[in-house]
């Protein structure tokens, strides 16, 4: 709303009116003031206390793809691109695991995916019958 400055240990930042500030969701989702024990999976975290849950308010700190006015404008396009690519692969190719175990991890955080052992898959283009 008004020009302001703030400092980190390594730099000072000056924000002017109209600047856009992006906060990575991991900062919000990992903040213990918003989510006690953020690294722990608690299935009842957002269930109201009168229903036996922990009663955390999801509106306070859960913002995948932003939220409200901060929604990512390209999120629907990105989703359609991924689904279209996957559909094209499934329709045009036969796939077979040739090395490794083809198993989905229970949690697909980026850190988990990057530490998985590779799975080699053979792609064979399908013959199209006229």
Using one digit for the tens of pLDDT, what is the confidence trace for 82-111? 999 999 999 999 988 888 766 665 655 555
Cα–Cα distance between 20 and 8 in angstroms, integer? Answer: 18
**Residue 44: alpha-carbon gap to chain centroid:** 20
Residues of the chain whose pLDDT is less than 70?
A: 61-70, 101-114, 130
CB 129 within 8 A of CB 122: no
Q: For position 80, what pLDDT does the model report? A: 94
Question: What tokens were used for 93?
Answer: 């190719």
Question: What tokens were used for 21?
Answer: 């500030």
Whether the full predicted model's pTM is greater than 0.75, yes or no, is no
């Amino acid at each position: 709303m008004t020009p302001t400055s703030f400092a980190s240990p390594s730099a000072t930042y000056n924000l002017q009116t109209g600047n856009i500030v992006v906060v990575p969701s991991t900062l919000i989702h990992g903040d213990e003031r918003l989510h006690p024990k953020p690294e722990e999976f608690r299935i009842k975290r957002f269930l109201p206390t009168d229903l036996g849950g922990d009663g955390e308010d999801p509106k306070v700190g859960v913002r995948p793809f932003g939220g409200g006015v901060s929604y990512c404008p390209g999120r629907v396009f990105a989703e359609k691109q991924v689904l279209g690519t996957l559909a094209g692969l499934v329709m045009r190719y036969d796939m077979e695991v040739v090395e490794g175990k083809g198993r989905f991890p229970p949690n697909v955080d980026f850190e988990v995916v990057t530490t998985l052992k590779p799975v080699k898959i053979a792609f064979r283009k399908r013959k199209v019958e006229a």
